[in-house]
């Protein structure tokens, strides 16, 4: 389409919209993809089943029936589920109505006032700290420097002063506040804000924010996996849209949540869990859409073996069931069909990667799921102890089907980034676990047999040639020995002749001597 300069603004906008639709249509039509990739994507789209089409919810705004992370003034995080016409208690920081923040964007900070009302406050940006001649030489941590007592502060709260007003009074009543350096003043105010401020900030649940909450609260629940280890797993496994992934997850669903977020609803993930019911608790805090949830299939360890067949379903006449019984029957039937289709999908194979973060030995897991991988596909294993991965690495190096097994250690250090105060964090986690990465390859036994037979025949020919050479060498040695014997015989004959000649000469000499004696 061409745009004329004489067209009006509305006509230009409509033309631009049509061009954008054509571009989106071409992208969705997958005209630029190869034939094999198109077939693979179509197969995945068939597996995904019913996907809700239409506009998805805007994740930048807070919605009803949604999990939200509340950042408190103390720096702690609280997870709440918002529902209309409800109140959320933040402990000593106050109470607010959910209707006041539903529909508002994430990231705004609110201050609680008049018990349960909130107002938006302006976020203070990072500012440069002015250098002064002040120092902390005369600063002593003495409670007597603060003129306001605990009773005075409580009285201020009863009088209606809240948050920033109380902090301002506390700062003004400190006798040595002006003698502090600018850095010390900022730290002092920050401590008082954590104690008296009533400001909170709703934070959108992302993979990082949810990980940070669980890693701070209970790191053993996610097997002490750090965010850098998780990101490396997703990168090494080449997790992307339109891929089929196998995930063995004992991190309460943290690893599966990362995979689902990468796929964005385009692909298939089979998650393996321990026990009858899955424990992917973290996944519900991510507020995934139905399209993303539909790309996840779940099986327990008891359902991944072909020998353990599923008990046949007892189909009934639905017309004879009551409303309550029919509801239970439909739920049970759907669960049976879901497990049956997921098992069929697993046994069909053709997966693009295997990610493992489990309490079980990795060797046994590999033995179970390796047959379902495609060739030249990545395998990534996480464990908090390197000894477990070292045994698995030795197992992989002995086997012929794993290429370049490598163990790496994750290391991360956080930094405080403030103008004039940027430095590494004074405390950090001791370790982020270890990763074992390898590539699964398929070995063609037929080609190996042919090559081995050709090698064996070649070796036989070489051995025969060597034997023939040995025989020839032996014959040559025998001929040399015969010649040597002939030479020796000739030498013996010459010696005999010489001895005979010597005897003749002696006889002549002796006869002459005898004649001379007679004449005398």
Residue boundaries of the structural domains of the chain:
5-124+199-203, 136-196, 219-437, 446-483+492-519
**285 with 210: CB under 8 angstroms?**
yes
Measure the CA dihedral 247/249/253/255, to 10°.
Answer: -60
Residue 122: helix, strand or coil by DSSP? coil
Res 329: pLDDT: 84
CA dist list (Å): 286 to 61, 109, 114, 310, 459: 14, 21, 33, 32, 63
Q: How many CB atoms lie within 10 A of CB 354?
A: 23
What is the block-wise mean pLDDT of the chain (520 residues), using blocks of 10 residues? Answer: 45 50 50 45 48 54 94 92 93 91 92 87 61 68 77 79 81 81 82 86 94 92 94 96 96 96 95 89 93 95 86 81 84 90 95 96 95 96 95 95 95 83 83 94 71 48 55 54 48 49 57 60
In the β-sheet with 377-383, what is the strand arrangement from edge to edge? 296-300, 267-273, 243-249, 353-357, 377-383, 434-440, 402-409
Q: How far apart are CA 366 and CA 461, in angstroms?
A: 42
Token readout for 429 is 């986690």
Res 51: pLDDT: 39
Res 35: pLDDT: 42
Could you list the beta-strand ranges (E) of 142-213. 199-203
The DSSP H or E segment spanning 421 is none
Half-sphere exposure of 385 (CA within 13 A, CB side): 9
Q: How many CB atoms lie within 10 A of CB 83?
A: 13
Closest CA to 241 of 473, 28, 415: 28
The model's pTM: 0.73
Q: How far apart are CA 40 and CA 31, in angstroms?
A: 14
> How far does CA 165 lie from the centroid of its chain?
47
* Pairing state between β 199-203 and 109-113: antiparallel
Res 321: pLDDT: 81
* Pairing state between β 109-113 and 117-121: antiparallel
Token readout for 275 is 């026990």
Residues 6+ apart with CB under 8 A from 125: none
Q: How far apart are CA 80 and CA 98, in angstroms?
A: 10
Radius of gyration of the chain (CA): 44
Res 486: pLDDT: 45
Q: How far apart are CA 309 and CA 340, in angstroms?
A: 10
> What does CATH list as the number for 5-124+199-203?
3.10.330.20
Exposed/middle/buried for 243, CB within 10 Å: 0-12, 13-18, 19+?
buried
Q: How far apart are CA 188 and CA 190, in angstroms?
A: 5
> What does CATH list as the number for 219-437?
3.40.50.150
Closest CA to 242 of 41, 35, 26, 32: 41
Q: How far apart are CA 385 and CA 339, in angstroms?
A: 33
């Amino acid at each position: 389409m061409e745009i004329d300069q004489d067209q009006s603004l509305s006509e230009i906008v409509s033309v631009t919209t049509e061009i954008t639709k054509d571009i989106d249509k071409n992208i969705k039509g997958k005209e630029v993809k190869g034939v094999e990739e198109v077939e693979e994507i179509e197969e995945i789209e068939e597996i995904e089943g019913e996907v809700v089409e239409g506009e998805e919810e805007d994740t930048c705004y807070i919605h009803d029936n949604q999990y939200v992370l509340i950042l408190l003034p103390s720096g702690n995080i609280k997870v709440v589920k918002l529902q209309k016409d409800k109140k959320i208690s933040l402990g000593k920081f106050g109470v607010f109505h959910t209707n006041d923040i539903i529909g508002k964007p994430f990231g705004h900070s609110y201050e609680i006032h008049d018990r349960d009302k909130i107002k938006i406050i302006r976020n203070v940006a990072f500012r440069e700290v002015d250098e002064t001649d002040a120092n902390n030489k005369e600063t002593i941590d003495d409670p007597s420097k603060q003129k306001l007592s605990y009773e005075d502060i409580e009285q201020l709260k009863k009088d209606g002063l809240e948050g920033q007003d109380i902090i301002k009074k506390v700062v003004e009543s400190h006798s040595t506040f002006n003698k502090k350096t600018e850095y010390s003043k900022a730290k002092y105010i920050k401590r008082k804000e954590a104690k008296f401020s009533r400001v909170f900030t709703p934070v959108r649940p992302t993979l990082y924010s949810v990980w940070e909450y669980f890693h701070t609260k209970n790191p053993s629940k996610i097997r002490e996996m750090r965010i850098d280890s998780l990101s490396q797993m997703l990168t090494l496994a080449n997790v992307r849209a339109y891929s089929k992934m196998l995930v063995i997850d004992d991190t309460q669903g943290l690893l599966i949540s990362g995979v689902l977020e990468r796929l964005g609803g385009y692909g298939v993930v089979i998650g393996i869990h321990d026990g009858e019911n899955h424990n992917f608790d973290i996944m519900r805090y991510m507020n995934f859409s139905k399209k993303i949830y539909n790309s996840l299939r779940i099986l327990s360890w008891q359902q991944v073996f072909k020998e353990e067949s599923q008990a046949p379903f007892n189909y009934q006449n639905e017309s004879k069931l009551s409303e309550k019984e029919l509801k239970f029957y439909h739920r049970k039937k759907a669960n049976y069909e879901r497990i049956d289709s997921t098992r069929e999908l697993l046994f069909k194979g053709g997966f693009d990667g295997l990610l493992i973060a489990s309490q079980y030995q990795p060797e046994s897991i590999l033995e179970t799921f390796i047959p379902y991988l495609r060739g030249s596909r990545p395998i990534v294993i996480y464990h908090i102890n390197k000894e477990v991965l070292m045994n698995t690495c030795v197992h992989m190096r002995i086997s012929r089907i794993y290429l370049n097994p490598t163990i790496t250690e994750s290391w991360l250090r956080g930094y405080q980034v403030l103008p004039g105060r940027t430095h590494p964090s004074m405390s950090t986690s001791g370790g982020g676990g270890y990763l074992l990465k390898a590539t699964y390859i398929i070995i063609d036994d037929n080609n190996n047999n042919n090559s081995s037979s050709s090698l064996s025949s070649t070796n036989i020919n070489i051995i025969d040639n060597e034997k023939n050479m040995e025989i020839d060498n032996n014959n040559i040695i025998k001929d040399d020995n015969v010649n040597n014997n002939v030479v020796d015989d000739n030498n013996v004959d010459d010696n005999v002749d010489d001895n005979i000649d010597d005897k003749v000469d002696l006889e002549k000499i002796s006869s002459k001597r005898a004649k001379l004696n007679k004449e005398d």
